[in-house]
Amino acid sequence: MEMSNDVKSKAKILVTGATGLSGSLVIKEFIRQSIPVKALVRNREKARWFEGHPNVEIVEGNMLQPGSLHKAFEGVEKALLLSSAFEKMVETQETFIDAAKMAGIPHVVKYSGAAAGIGFKTYNFKPGLDHEKIEDYLIDSGLKWTIVRPSQFMQLYLPGTHSGVNMQQHALMLPIGDAMETPVAIEDVAKACVAILSQPGHDKKYYEMTGPDAMTMYEAAEIISNVIGKKISYMPIGFVEYHELLTKLGISPAGIEILNQLSKGRMRCTESYVKLDTHRRLGIRPTSFAEFIYKYSSAFN
């Protein structure tokens, strides 16, 4: 089903990385709120689930190739900047910022990242350092800017992810001892992004987001157990075993090194905080960890 020209002309918001984990949930939130949006994808095949939706215009393009973005930029007033943290993130996002400025896009919202660990500085590690470089580049670009900084995602506790439950062992297996995390549901972050992109204002604002629960992995395992009705334990492991688990999941050596650095940082800074200012400011009800696990309980079968 093709979108009408009238519907296409209403889409003044562009979402990059629209088929990724975070981007796809942002698109779902636009659909839920019936707000027209453009979805930038590199591979249209991966966008089949929202192909033909009356409020979504799919545009193919590559952020590293500005010449491929002309159609994506047509009529756009705000763009959400989002891409993989492991695939040339700095080059990709800085190239997009330059292209957006050349195309006259007034406002770019960067989907960034933060850690809720007390004393833990993400900019001491490559992903955080890269996000910081891009944030500075965007601020210096002369464009209107907004930066969204979510903490660790709740989705990372689902089976099959690098920090998720190992269903063969019925355990969370991580090398962070008794460190606390304050994960946020990506759905909450998506709601924040849609509010920022669809409402006026928000220029020169930082929006940090955590979930409502600061917890150790022992506590996380207990919550998961109570919700799914199966005993899940927390097994603190060493970095050699963690390396083996990540390799089996297909994580690249560079990705493993980053995750090791982050885990070692969490071992040094074990406490975490809750920050719900963004939820309150934007009228978003925080999703608790138990609510999240209940929603995704089928993943633990």
* Residue 194 in domain: yes
Half-sphere exposure of 10 (CA within 13 A, CB side): 12
Q: Does the residue 115 lie in any domain? A: yes
pLDDT, tens digit, for every residue of 112-163? 988 655 556 665 677 788 899 999 999 999 999 999 999 999 999 999 998 8
Q: What is the pLDDT of residues 30-39, one digit of tens each?
A: 999 999 999 9
Average pLDDT over residues 77-97: 92
Task: Please give the pLDDT value at position 5.
Answer: 45
Flag whether 282 is in a domain: yes
Full residue range of the structural domain in which residue 52 is found: 5-153+185-210+273-286
Token pair 């190739």: residue? 65
pLDDT reading at 79 higher than 80: yes
* Residue 195 maps to a domain: yes
The two structure tokens encoding residue 280: 């309150």
d(CA 187, CA 129): 25
The answer to the question of residue 261 being in a domain is no
pLDDT band at 49 (very low <50, low <70, confident <90, very high): confident
CB 41 within 8 A of CB 19: yes
> Does position 82 have pLDDT exceeding 90, yes or no?
yes
Per residue in 251-287, pLDDT (tens digit) is 989 889 888 888 988 888 788 889 999 999 999 999 9
Signed CA dihedral, 113, 114, 115, 120: sign only: positive
User: Which pTM does this prediction carry?
Assistant: 0.93
CB 180 within 8 A of CB 272: yes
* Predicted confidence (pLDDT) at residue 185 exceeds the cutoff of 90: yes
Residue 83 in any domain: the answer is yes
Share of the chain above pLDDT 90, in %: 76
Gap between the Cα atoms of 203 and 197, Å rounded? 11
pLDDT value of position 36: 97
The answer to whether residue 122 sits within a structural domain is: yes
The domain that holds 145 is classified in CATH as 3.40.50.720
Side-chain-side CA neighbours of 59 within 13 Å: the count stands at 23
The model's confidence at residue 52, banded by pLDDT at 50, 70 and 90, is confident
**26 or 253, higher pLDDT:** 26
Question: CA nearest 77: which of 198, 206, 205, 207?
Answer: 198
Provide the pLDDT confidence category of residue 28 given band limits of 50, 70 and 90: very high
**Domains in the chain, number:** 1
CA distances from 169 to 82, 121, 239 (A): 34, 32, 17
Within a domain: residue 277?
Answer: yes
pLDDT, one tens digit per residue, over 223-242 is 999 999 999 999 999 999 99
pLDDT at 118: 55
Question: Does 23 or 11 have the greater pLDDT score?
Answer: 23
- Please give the backbone phi and psi of residue 209, each rounded to the nearest 5 degrees, phi first: -140, 130
Cα separation, 39 vs 57, in Å, equals 6
More confident: 140 or 53: 140
Residue 93 CB partners (closer than 8 Å, separation 6+): 63, 81, 83, 110, 134, 137
